[in-house]
Amino acid sequence: MNLALSDEALLRLLAEDVPFGDLTTDQLGIGDRPAGLVFNARSSMTVCGTEEAARLFHLAGASAKVVAPSGTATDGLLLTAEGDAATLHRVWKVAQILVELYSGVASGTAAIVKNLRDAGFDTPLACTRKHFPGTKSMAVKAVRSGGAYMHRLGLSETLLLFHEHRLFLDESAADTVVRLRQSLPERGLVVEVSDEAEALVWAEAGAPVLQLERFNPDQVRDLKAKLAGNRLTPIIAIAGGVNAGNAVAYAAAGAGVLVSSAPYHTPPKDVKVVFSQMA
């Protein structure tokens, strides 16, 4: 998988952590000693960020080898690096944290996908843009490493009509759908609704995708039945509270897409780093 962060972004991470040298390593006088290190997973994880970690070592003047690329499920060796002790100590913690944080997101994503597939559902999982601000590139990589895709990368790419937009409209739902479909025919159109009545109005208006906000599985099932009875076939996306514990229930209720922010709240995975002296 390609790097999510540019060399400039990676160097900024190093500069932030080691702005004026490594005081401890410098004072000990061990910086020129040949050294090696390994990154090992302490438990099973879906990996993300090993490529960025390896590139950090390379940019600092060491060599590194990715053993477990992003997207790999493993509980073993992730990465190895060799160089002088000063370089490895400089890069070590930044590289470790990148792998731990984003392997957490990737693993949280993969857990939802696995539950769906194990239950026999091929329902897609789409992750929101509710990642921590400034981390979009790595968040997207982690989501993809876990087997999902992004629901919406930003406001510039799709039409997602919220209640907050509709407050300012002075036209019918059907007129809004026609206007948006005519003005941007190649763009996707999603309308978020908060109850069954709203869903039926916008389905009748021709909305191609309804995003159901905080419906429970029974409500999804009831709405699907009413839509079918009216010969309406919008794609049903479920948003709000979707997680590994309820994803299968939503898929069984007839969801076409599951939209989730839960992977971003998955705890970081634990990576064990072991240094060694080299001959």
pLDDT at 1: 64
Cβ proximity of 243 and 268 under 8 Å? no
Q: What is the CATH number of the domain that holds 20?
A: 3.90.1170.20
- Residue 58, helix vs strand vs coil: helix
pLDDT at 279: 81
| Distance between CA atoms of residues 197 and 39, nearest Å | 53
pLDDT at 195: 97
Q: Is the dihedral of CA 231, 235, 241, 244 positive or negative?
A: positive
pLDDT at 50: 98
The set of residues, in sequence order, having a beta carbon less than 8 Å from that of 264 and lying 6+ positions away, is 105, 108, 127, 130, 131, 132, 139
Residue 37 gets the label, from left (phi > 0), alpha (psi -120 to 50) or beta, of beta
pLDDT at 2: 87
The domain containing residue 180 runs over which residues?
116-265
- Identify whether residues 88 and 53 lie together within a single domain: yes
pLDDT digits (tens, 9 = 90+) for 176-206: 999 999 999 999 999 999 999 999 999 999 9
pLDDT digits (tens, 9 = 90+) for 30-42: 999 999 999 999 9
What is the gyration radius of the CA atoms in the chain, in angstroms?
23
- Identify whether residues 93 and 225 lie together within a single domain: no
- Identify whether residues 160 and 189 lie together within a single domain: yes
Answer whether residue 194 is part of any domain: yes
